[in-house]
Amino acid sequence: MSQTPQYTQRPQEEEINLREELEKYLKYWPWFLLAVIVCVALAFTYLKFTTASYNTTASIIIKDEDSKGPSSEMSAFVDLGLLSGMGTNSIENEIGILKSRRMMTEVVKALQLNVQYIDETGIPAKEVYLNSPVLVQILKMDEQKLKDLAESEDSEFYVSQSGNDFLLTNLGSGKILKAKAGMPVEIGFATVVLNPQDSAASEFSDLKIRFSTIQGVTSAYRAKVMVNLTDKNSSLIELSLEDPVKAKARDILDQLILEYNREAIEDKNLVARNTAKFIDERLSIINEELDSVETGKEEFKQDNQLTDIQAESSLFIENASEFNKRQQEMGTQVELANAMIEYLRNGSEGDLLPANLGISQQSVNQRIQEYNDLVLERNRILSGSTAKNPIVVRLSSQIDQIKGNVLQSLQRMRDNLKIAQEDLNRQSAVIGSKISAVPGKERLYRGIERQQNIKESLYIFLLQKREENSLSLAVTAPKAKIVDSAYSSDQPISPKPKIILLAALILGMLIPFLIIYISQLLNNKIQNRADLDKAAKEIPVVGEIPKVKRGDKELIDNKSDRSILAEAFRILHTNLQYLLASNGDKKSGVKIFITSTVKGEGKTFAAFNLAVTLANTGKKVVIVGGDLRNPQLQRYEAETKSMLGVSDYLINNSHSLDGLIKQSALHSNLSLLASGSIPPNPAELWRLDKSGQMFAELETRFDYVIVDTAPSMLVADTFLINKFADLTLYMIRAGYTEKKLQEFALDAKRDGKLHDVGFVLNDVELSNFGYGNKYGYVYGQEETSFWDKIRGKAMFW
């Protein structure tokens, strides 16, 4: 039968149907349910056995000591210079100090955080902190030895009570140490004292004590403590710490603030202490000089029998008083300048300069203040770093430069003062010439008195500065004002049950979805009818054959067979009738060719079952072995392997179809025409005119001629004889045939190599059968159980 090739335009791809996409996943709903149950159960287990952590927060304000508007209670000290110092430090530097390792090390040592008390009576074990029935006091510890044991259990001990004594069991070595309460005991890497708590129970068990290195604990808590500036325009700092033990976290933050304030106060007092030392030294020297001047004055008056010579020179003294006063001021300033220059030249590196001594030139005082501020800042950074730190090097360079500037300013000031003194002396000489008549004794007496006044004024000035400096030490205030002491949240911040359960629910839905999606994404095989309908609408799907499970029968029995397999072939038979009717009503001799793209797609299986189905309707059916290269009829009819058949008929004219056609043992209405002997040239045999005669003769003898042909893609045999076919069934095997191979069937139809083609989808999973088996109805079979459905839908795992 010939037919003009038809070339039809391939339909365009349709838009995605959301409902169809959802149905791909909804049919696996038991696995979604099971995954959700498992994930939620794991989430509950995680919440049950995970230690909760709480957030602890404290806040402080760093006082701005450069403020030009000090508080009213401190305004009385402004004139004394007590609010100076620390002004050059920015808020970022203070945050850096709070985060420093040195500061956290002091906290760890003060609170003894390198000792943990763990109660293992519950699950999970929890740290009891200071609620432990016994507390450990470390007298001496070898950090290096403990560091070597850190990764083993030799640094952990179980503590139990035996009468009035304690038993320490080393978890690593198993060695048991006996200790008395309040008495030192050697534990290998440390000497400790065990102190029972008065509020603790007399008996306890399952208490574990873990020793850690101070360095390790410092690093751990330094990473956990967060120090943040709440606003860039303010000096309010918030400290936070996440820890399972709320009391411990509060103590850490409070102690950190305490250590910060203590160090800041010490830095402030350092300048005052150096100033006090300088003043005491100068007072000692001035006191000796004053005693010497006063003694000389007394001896001069005694030697010269002087009583009251003031009246004699009152007129001249009134004129010279102003010059004397100015000379005294100049002398004081020169003395201060000489003392400061001597201190600068003889002082060691890093010494602070005396401040607020009364030097008249404000530029010099300002440079001294800048020098002290830089020295303090360098010393603070150097205490937690080394001299090679770039910041320390930069500060040292600035300190040297400013020190030179201070020395140069003092020398310049002294030179200026000396010039002024010389000018005053010249003017005093003029006055002196006016009182030349005054006896020389008076002049000598006035010189001694002038020296006495200078020493007295300097002595009184230094006494005043010493009192001011002492007051500065007494009123030093903390640098960090506590806004909120450390407080902990009532609810744990981790784990959060609602978030964990929600994540478990989402994960339980997501895991099956991803597995299904990825498996479908990576799958290049045809799985169901929808795959065929989308890609090959030019060729109708005339039937679906369900997957035959291992151990089940592959062939239909008889008319009463109510299996899914039998129903599928009955539906295929019905669809063939409609297809044949559309191509012309042919009552008998219908030749049905069964082919596929490659081998293994179920041609022989479909041929036998279709033949039995047709035979059950009372029709005479013959199965023809059309694959001369690889005969397969012997799979269901073993004797066909040794039978003569088509190849023998085509080669030898002495053979007739009557002698080659045999009755099948499967059904009385079913006959067999085997492939026969395997020829060397199958394609040449099919090109013989005798092949057409064979099909014509079979058409007259049987109602249906089922031809099991060779794979179309591998050999040309099927294309050579397809012209004799009334209908061609093209087998596609679900999960086996690649999607791209559909194009071969479409091209063959377009090119006219195959005609009247219909797809038959073989080996379909029950979950993909029909329209997804969505209604759950199988005629003649009982409904499957829930777990059977789950097992049936597990194919994507």
Hey, where are the domains in the chain?
Answer: 54-262, 268-484, 523-764
Residue 249 contacts residue 328 (beta carbons within 8 Å)? no
CB 545 within 8 A of CB 607: no
Q: Whole-angstrom Cα distance, residue 80 to residue 466?
A: 11
Residue 433 is predicted with a pLDDT of: 66
Q: Distance (Å, rounded) from C-alpha 192 to C-alpha 183?
A: 8
Radius of gyration of the chain measured on its C-alpha atoms: 54
Report the C-alpha gap between 66 and 84 in whole angstroms.
Answer: 8
CB 779 within 8 A of CB 561: no
Alpha carbons 268 and 702: distance in angstroms, whole number: 118
Is-contact 645 656, C-beta < 8 A?
no
Enumerate residues 6+ apart whose C-beta is below 8 A from 585: none
| pLDDT score at 729 | 94
Closest by CA to 226, choosing from 209, 243, 206, 208, is 243
Please report, to the nearest 10 degrees, the dihedral formed by the alpha carbons of residues 43, 46, 48, 52 taken in order. -120
d(CA 664, CA 723): 27
According to the model, what pLDDT value does residue 472 have? 66
Q: 235-274 burial string, b = 16+ CB within 10 Å, else e?
A: bbbebbbbbbbbebbbbbbbbbbbbbbebbeebbebbbeb
Count other C-beta atoms under 10 Å from residue 636's C-beta: 21
Query: HSE on the CB side for 612, CA within 13 Å?
Result: 24
Query: How would you label 443-461 residue by residue, b for 16+ Cβ within 10 Å and e otherwise?
Result: eebbebebbbbbbeebbeb
Nearest to 300 by CA among 436, 444, 435: 444
- A 10 A CB-CB count for 36 gives 18
Report, as ranges of residue numbers, the positions in the chain whose pLDDT lies below 50: 1-14, 67-89, 200-202, 437, 772, 774-780, 782-783, 793-797
Locate 517 and state its tokens.
């999606």
Handedness of CA 282, 288, 290, 292 (dihedral sign): negative
Give the DSSP per-residue string, 538-580: TS-EEEEEEPPPTTS-SS--STT--SHHHHHHHHHHHHHHHHH
Cα gap 628→646, rounded to integer Å: 8
CA distance 69 to 676: 116
Strand, helix or coil for residue 683: helix
What tokens appear for 639 in the block? 């004797």
**Can you give the pLDDT at residue 497?**
87
| Mode of pairing for the β-strands spanning 621-625 and 704-708 | parallel
Helical ranges in 617-666 per DSSP H: 646-651, 657-660
* C-alpha to C-alpha distance for 232 and 274, rounded to whole angstroms: 36
Tokens read off for 611: 């033949």
Nearest to 102, CA basis, from 268, 256, 285, 233:
256
The model carries a pTM of 0.55
Q: For residues 571 and 587, what is the distance between their CA atoms, to the nearest angstrom?
A: 19
* 275, 355 Cβ separation under 8 angstroms: yes
CA distances, 374 to each of 3, 23, 68, 640 (Å): 104, 75, 21, 108
Which candidate, 654, 604, 659, 655, places its Cα nearest to that of 630? 604
Residue 553: per-residue pLDDT: 84
pLDDT at 64: 65
Please report, to the nearest 10 degrees, the dihedral formed by the alpha carbons of residues 530, 531, 532, 534 taken in order. 80
Count of Cβ atoms closer than 10 Å to residue 369 Cβ? 19
347 HSE (CA, 13 A, CB side): 19
- What pLDDT does residue 8 have? 42
Q: Which top CATH class is 523-764?
A: alpha beta
Q: Please state, in angstroms and as integers, the Cα–Cα distance from residue 131 to each residue in 115, 138, 179, following that order.
A: 13, 18, 20
The dihedral over CA atoms of 348, 351, 357, 363, expressed in degrees to the nearest 10, equals: 90
The CA-atom distances, in angstroms, between 566 and each of 570, 616, 775 are: 6, 11, 19
